[in-house]
Structure 1
């Protein structure tokens, strides 16, 4: 059996929503911080996600993107009837389409009376469009009309976009939020030409974050986790050097760079930058980008699987001043 019907606690849950099936329906509760929300049949648990106004989404380091559309349970027999019959009564879709739909769902070709005799024994599956991907050409790939799947059965093999734990992991990837990458600098405020400037991030803010996506109706879930692995510094001008020379500061034991402290003035920073000219009356846009290694675990999938690394960066203005010589 490829699909489970879910835990007993979910036995009375039924799919459905107020939308047309062409968009993602989002419902859920909020208590201080969002813990979970639903997107149709999918429930997202964000309790271990990054938070705060400065948190943002990661961008894949490849051309890969999460699926723009997918199929999952959406209607009970009664809900599909309540959805389709007003459309037919309005006659807004044309006689031929209405007749074909009535034949498919009412007259027994192949379904009869919306499969009411199977009420509670399965669900009508339909397409969903991933939130934020409504204008994506890939959102048009899910063209199948609603189809029936008995509890415990796999969806038809000709439906490649049918929801799976791997797809849940990919959808959870899009929900990942990571903290801001604004770095602490020493000297703070303004630095000097040819003076090594130390850069670091508070390691306490850069711990793994994760989002779990599940379909309780099917008893499947996947957790996608992002872990910080490196900080890349771009000084914002070619007239600068970075520490290390590659500009990539590796993250070890949760530490990103090293805070400056008294007594370190004669040392080069393990992570930082040295500007070779003044910023004049302006500033240089120092960009700090964190690379996050992303992996997932899911129902029926042994071990961990990987997804493309993600990045998130931010710019901050750095003032670089000339060192003033004093003539005596």
Structure 2
């Protein structure tokens, strides 16, 4: 990854021609720079159980895109060793030198325009979703500062592409629900389930390209919780197993003394014992994703989901005859 010194304007561009991986690691860094894109994750979900959203549709993050990649000096530093190695053939090397005016010490690689634009190149999403190779039809091309890329360049970086990249970096809290009774429950005993609204608040990630003045923020807000008991011998509350978010921001309702005779608004009732083992109850939260960006752009992105499994022990109720 390039250092911040690669761009005279403070933005970070690539210093090598590897197809830069667009996704950043799962480390807790609040700000991460990848290629020309800066990710602000200071409002992201945190904690060891936080995780990446999965789209509830066939949507995938942007597969590839074009963005500023090299200053004139950096492009020269990258290409000239390749030509010197004669690994691509003398004819090709000569064509490339002519294209970039490499023999002119003052204007070669557009050095006379240093600080006034960038050489653009392609970037690829590290998960290589379908379409990842759609950005290989363009060699490096120059764009003056303040100008739009050529009209024939598809997948040039936009606020909407940045929003998709930001979506991919969102991390949401873990989804282990609170159960009552806790730890283990009884056959035919309604078990209450809920998530604390204080923990399930909106989270967001902002992606930007400082050298272009482009930015987009993707925000995830919890919508609902789906309970899957881990066995067919159970019923859920409500029957669909989907618990909607409440006005307080939580999901479900905490159990309290005096509620034993009530039906939980969110929960499960097991009809058979787990037989000395446990049932793998899965709790999945669906998150609504919206985005806003430069120039008033914005809209919706596909909902995302994140879930986790927890063990529930179910015992038979023992009766004693006297």
TM-score by length of 1: 0.90
| Structure 2 contact 50–172 (Cα < 8 Å) conserved | yes
Q: Where in structure 2 are there 5+ consecutive unaligned residues?
A: 1-6
Counterpart of 1:3 in structure 2 is: none
Q: Give yes or no for the alignment of 1:243 onto 2:240.
A: no
Matched, 1:223 2:217: yes
State how far apart, in whole Å, the 2-side matches of 1:25 and 1:241 are: 43
In structure 2, C-alpha distance between the alignment counterparts of 1:14 and 1:235, rounded to whole Å: 49
Note if contact 1:21-1:126 (Cα within 8 Å) is conserved in structure 2: no
Match of 2:4 in 1: none
Gapped runs of 5+ residues in structure 1? Answer: 1-9
Q: 1:81 aligns with which of 64, 73, 76?
A: 76
Structure 2 CA distance for aligned equivalents of residues 197 and 316 of structure 1:
14
CA-atom RMSD in angstroms = 2.0
Q: Distance in 1 between matches of 2:9 and 2:19?
A: 25
CA distance in 2, matches of 1:227, 1:323: 40
8 Å CA contact 2:195, 2:250 repeated in 1: yes
Residue 21 of structure 2 is aligned to residue 24 of structure 1: yes
Task: List, as ranges, runs of 4+ consecutive aligned residues in structure 1 with deviation greater than 6 Å.
Answer: 25-28
Structural mapping, 1:262-273, within 5 Å: 262-273=257-268
Report the alpha carbon displacement of residue 201 of structure 1 after superposing the two structures with TM. Answer: 1.1
1:155, 1:161 → 2: CA distance? 10
More displaced stretch, 168-177 vs 33-42: 33-42
1:102: Cα distance to partner? 1.5
CA contact (8 A) 2:16 2:78 kept: no
Partner of 1:138: 131
Within the candidate set 160, 179, 185, 2:173 is matched to 179
Give the match for residue 195 of structure 1. 189
Aligned counterparts, 1:61-72, within 5 A: 61-72=56-67
Q: SS of the counterpart of 1:259?
A: coil
> 2:131 is paired with a residue of what secondary structure?
helix
Structure-2 change in CA distance of 1:311 and 1:14 (3 Å)? closer
- 1:13 is aligned, of 6, 10, 13, to 10
For 1:1-328, list aligned pairs within 5 A: 12-13=9-10, 15-24=12-21, 34-106=29-101, 113-130=108-125, 132-133=126-127, 135-143=128-136, 144-252=138-246, 253-302=248-297, 304-328=298-322
CA offset digits 1:297-323 (Å, max 9, x no partner): 000135x40000000000011111111
Q: What are the Cα deviations for residues 60-115 of structure 1, in whole angstroms up to 9, with x where unaligned?
A: 0100011121111111111110010011111122333322322211269xxx6111
Asked if structure 2 preserves the Cα contact closer than 8 Å seen for 1:249 and 1:257, the reply is: yes
**TM, length-normalised to structure 2:** 0.91
The alignment of Structure 1 onto Structure 2 pairs a total of residues equal to 310
